[in-house]
C-alpha cells in the first residue's frame, strides 16, 4: 500500500513538479523528511509569502507548482500569495503540515493553534478551489485525485493539510480515478464554434484578443495557428502579455482601454468581430473600465463561460472550444499585409537615464532566451512598452497586484525554465518587501538580473494625484551595495550608456546581477502617466 506523503509527491513529480518552495517548521518536519526522500527538490525561501510567490511563478510556467509549509504560522503567513494565485488562475498545490490526529484528540492547546484546529483549513477554503484535511487513510487518495483535478481544470490553487502522524500512513489506493469535475457537451461545443465561424465570415475587421488563459491552458500554439490562418491582428492585456509571441508580425501590442496605446485601442474597439480568448475583464486590464467593447460584436471564451454575442453556451470547456475552432476547415482568410506590428512608445536616452530610456535599453537586451518578471507599480504598467520575443516569456501580478511578487517570482521562474535567463523589473518599494530573496538565488547558484527602479517613492501612488503626500516616500537604500553584501554583482546605473553596458555584462556574470537604476521620482512610463490621469479624474468625479 502507498504511504500518504510519498504518494502525493510521486503524483506531483509525474505531472512536472520538480521543486517545492517553503520553510520547514516543527509540524512539517516529518513532511519535509518525506519531501527530501522524494524526487522533488525542496527550495527553502526566506519568508513564507516569498515561497507562495515563487510557487505561483513556477506554476505559471510549468502548469503546476508546489508550496510546503508548517501549520498556521507558516500557512497563514502565505495566504496573501495564494490569494493572488487564486485571483489570477495559477494552479499551485499548498501542502501544510499540521498537528497529528491523536494530538488533536488529547491536547486542546497546542502551539500555533488560532481558534480551532480547522481554522487554517477554513481560511484556505476562501483562497483555493479545493481544500481538505487528509486524516482518513480510506478516502485520502480520492481527495488527492480530486484536488489535482480541480487545480488542473480550473487553474487555481488547492490546499492539502497533512497531520504529522499521517505523513507515512498507509492509504487505500483507488482502482480507478474519479470522473473529471467538468465535461464538455459535444452538441453545445459544435453550436458555439459554428456561431463563431459565422461571425467571422460576416466580419470585415476581426481581431483576436489573446489573453492569460491561453497561457494557463497551454493553448499558445493553437491560437498562433488560428491567427495565422485568419490573418488578423492580435493583441493582449497586461495580465496575458506574451500569451501570444510579441515578435509575431500580426501582434500589435497591449490593449488597455483609454490607458493604453491609442492605436491598439482603436484596432480593438473598431473591430466588428472581437475574439476575446481567455480574457480577464478587470479594471487594471481594461484601463480602469474605460474599455468600450460591444457585446454584440464579441466572442467571449474563458474557462468560466463561453458567450457569443448574447448567447451563452454552458458545459463547454475552454480548451475544447479553442481546439475545435482551430480544426475548422472553413475559416475565412483576411489580408495580414495591412497589419502594423507592435511599436513600443519609448526611445533612447543620450545622457541621464529616464524611465523611457530604461525601457528602450531593456527592449534591446531582451531576446528569445529572456524571461521577464515584473512587480507591481510602474514596473507593471511599463510593460505596455516592453516587447518580449517568445510566448510565455512574461509574468506579472496584473490583476491581484500584490507588491513583492517580482524577486521571489524570478527565483521560481528561473527554476521552472532554467534554459532562459530570468530578469526581474521591480520598484524600490516592492524590493524592500521581498528583495532579500536574492540570497536564495545566490544559494541556488541562479543568475537572474534584478532591475530596481530606484526613485525613492511609491511611483504609481504618486502618479495618481498624491505627489505631495509624505506617505508615498520610502526609505533610501544603496541597492547596489546591498547586492554586493549578499554575494551578488551590484551596479549603480545613472546614464543610458551605463544601463547598456551593465545589461551586456550581466550576460556573462557568474552570479546574480542587481542594477540600481536611479530615476527621478516624477519620471514614469507613458502607460502610468495616462493611467494616473484617468485615476485622478475618477477621484475628482
Q: Is 340 exposed, middle or buried (0-12, 13-18, 19+ CB in 10 A)?
A: exposed
Using an 8 Å Cβ cutoff, are 414 and 441 in contact? yes
Q: Which three cell numbers stand for residue 24?
A: 520547514
Is 159 found in the same domain as 192? no
Both 432 and 520 in a single domain? yes
Q: How far is it, in rounded angstroms, from Cα 283 to Cα 271?
A: 21
CATH number for the domain spanning 129: value is 3.40.50.970
Instruction: Find the mean pLDDT for residues 227-245.
Output: 95
pLDDT of 537 reads 65
Q: pLDDT tens digit string along 479-491?
A: 999 999 999 999 9
Does 120 share its domain with 151? yes
For residues 247 and 395, membership in a common domain is answered with no
The whole-angstrom separation of Cα 377 and Cα 461 is 8
pTM, full prediction: 0.94
Confidence of residue 259 (pLDDT cuts 50, 70, 90): confident
In a domain, 349, yes or no: no
Q: Do 29 and 113 have their domain in common?
A: yes
Domain boundary residue among 163, 196, 220?
163
Pairwise pLDDT comparison (538 vs 72), residue with the higher score: 72
Q: Please state the domain count of the chain.
A: 3
Indicate if 324 and 362 belong to the same structural domain.
Answer: no
Q: Are 190 and 294 in a shared domain?
A: yes
Return contacts of 128-133, CB within 8 angstroms, 24+ apart.
128/82, 128/86, 128/94, 128/156, 128/157, 128/158, 128/159, 129/86, 129/154, 129/156, 129/157, 129/158, 130/158, 130/159, 131/158, 131/159, 131/161, 132/159, 132/160, 132/161, 133/98, 133/161, 133/163
347 within a domain of the structure (yes/no): no
> Which letter does DSSP use for residue 172 in this model?
-
Domain check: are 57 and 138 in the same one? yes
End residue of a domain, out of 338, 369, 395: 338
Shared domain for 130 and 202, answered yes or no, is: no
- pLDDT of amino acid 538: 62
28 in the same domain as 108: yes
Residue 118: inside a domain, yes or no? yes
Last residue of a domain, one of 131, 163, 195: 163
In a domain, 179, yes or no: no
Q: At 345, is the secondary structure helix, strand, or coil?
A: coil
Establish if 286 belongs to a structural domain: yes
> Whole-angstrom Cα distance, residue 130 to residue 445?
35
Indicate whether 52 belongs to any domain.
yes
> Does 218 map to a domain?
yes
Distance CA 278, CA 276 (A): 6
- Same domain, residue pair 157 and 193: no
Domain encompassing residue 331: 186-338
What is the per-residue pLDDT for 286? 64
pLDDT digits (tens, 9 = 90+) for 277-298: 999 877 666 655 667 788 899 9
Enumerate helices (H) and strands (E) in the chain, giving the number of each.
Answer: 21, 19
Are residues 319 and 362 located together in one domain of the fold?
no
Query: Taking a C-beta distance cutoff of 8 angstroms, is the pair 241, 331 a contact?
Result: no
Task: Let me know if residue 44 belongs to a domain.
Answer: yes
Amino acid at each position: 500500500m502507498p504511504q500518504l506523503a510519498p504518494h502525493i509527491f510521486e503524483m506531483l513529480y509525474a505531472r512536472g513538479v520538480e521543486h517545492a518552495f517553503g520553510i520547514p517548521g516543527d509540524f512539517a518536519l516529518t513532511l519535509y523528511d518525506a519531501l527530501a526522500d522524494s524526487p522533488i527538490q525542496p527550495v527553502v525561501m526566506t519568508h513564507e509569502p516569498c515561497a507562495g510567490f515563487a510557487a505561483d511563478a513556477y506554476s505559471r510556467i510549468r502548469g503546476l507548482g508546489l508550496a510546503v509549509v508548517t501549520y498556521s504560522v507558516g500557512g497563514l503567513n502565505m495566504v496573501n500569495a495564494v490569494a493572488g494565485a487564486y485571483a489570477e488562475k495559477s494552479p499551485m498545490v499548498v501542502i501544510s503540515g499540521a498537528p497529528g490526529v491523536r494530538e488533536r484528540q488529547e491536547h486542546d492547546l497546542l502551539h500555533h493553534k488560532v481558534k480551532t484546529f480547522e481554522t487554517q483549513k477554513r481560511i484556505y477554503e476562501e483562497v483555493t478551489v479545493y481544500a481538505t484535511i487528509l486524516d482518513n487513510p480510506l478516502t485520502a487518495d480520492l481527495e488527492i485525485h480530486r484536488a489535482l483535478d480541480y487545480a488542473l481544470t480550473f487553474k487555481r490553487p488547492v490546499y492539502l493539510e497533512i497531520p504529522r502522524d499521517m505523513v507515512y500512513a498507509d492509504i487505500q489506493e483507488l482502482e480507478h480515478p474519479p470522473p473529471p469535475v467538468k465535461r464538455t457537451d459535444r452538441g453545445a461545443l459544435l453550436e458555439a464554434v459554428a456561431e463563431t465561424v459565422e461571425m467571422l465570415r460576416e466580419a470585415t475587421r476581426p481581431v483576436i484578443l489573446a489573453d492569460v488563459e491561453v497561457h494557463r491552458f497551454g493553448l499558445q500554439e493553437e491560437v498562433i495557428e488560428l491567427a495565422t490562418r485568419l490573418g488578423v491582428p492580435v493583441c493582449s492585456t497586461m495580465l496575458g502579455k506574451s500569451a501570444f509571441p510579441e515578435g509575431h508580425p500580426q501582434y500589435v501590442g497591449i490593449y488597455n482601454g483609454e490607458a493604453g496605446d491609442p492605436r491598439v485601442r482603436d484596432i480593438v474597439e473598431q473591430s466588428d468581430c472581437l475574439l476575446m480568448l481567455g480574457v480577464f475583464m478587470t479594471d487594471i486590464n481594461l484601463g480602469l473600465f474605460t474599455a468600450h467593447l460591444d457585446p454584440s460584436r464579441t466572442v467571449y471564451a474563458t474557462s468560466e463561460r463561453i458567450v457569443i454575442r448574447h448567447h451563452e453556451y454552458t458545459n463547454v470547456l475552454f480548451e475544447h472550444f479553442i481546439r475545435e475552432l482551430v480544426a475548422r476547415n472553413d475559416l475565412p482568410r483576411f489580408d495580414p499585409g495591412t497589419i502594423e506590428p507592435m511599436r513600443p512608445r519609448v526611445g533612447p536616452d543620450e545622457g541621464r537615464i529616464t524611465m523611457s530610456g530604461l525601457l528602450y535599453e531593456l527592449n534591446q537586451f531582451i531576446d528569445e532566451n529572456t524571461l521577464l518578471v515584473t512587480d507591481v507599480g510602474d514596473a507593471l504598467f511599463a510593460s505596455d512598452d516592453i516587447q518580449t520575443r517568445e510566448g510565455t516569456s512574461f509574468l506579472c501580478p496584473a490583476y491581484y497586484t500584490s507588491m513583492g511578487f517580482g524577486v521571489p517570482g524570478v527565483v521560481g521562474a528561473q527554476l521552472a525554465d532554467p534554459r532562459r535567463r530570468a530578469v526581474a523589473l521591480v520598484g524600490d518599494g516592492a524590493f524592500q518587501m521581498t528583495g532579500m530573496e536574492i540570497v536564495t538565488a545566490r544559494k541556488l547558484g541562479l543568475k537572474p538580473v534584478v532591475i530596481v527602479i530606484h526613485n525613492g517613492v511609491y511611483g504609481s501612488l504618486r502618479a495618481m494625484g498624491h505627489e505631495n503626500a509624505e506617505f508615498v516616500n520610502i526609505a533610501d537604500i544603496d541597492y547596489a551595495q546591498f547586492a554586493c553584501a549578499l554575494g551578488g554583482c551590484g551596479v549603480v546605473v545613472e546614464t543610458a550608456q551605463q544601463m547598456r553596458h551593465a545589461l551586456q555584462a550581466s550576460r556573462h556574470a557568474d552570479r546574480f546581477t542587481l542594477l540600481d537604476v536611479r530615476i527621478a521620482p516624477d519620471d514614469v512610463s507613458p502607460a502610468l502617466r495616462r493611467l494616473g490621469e484617468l485615476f485622478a479624474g475618477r477621484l475628482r468625479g
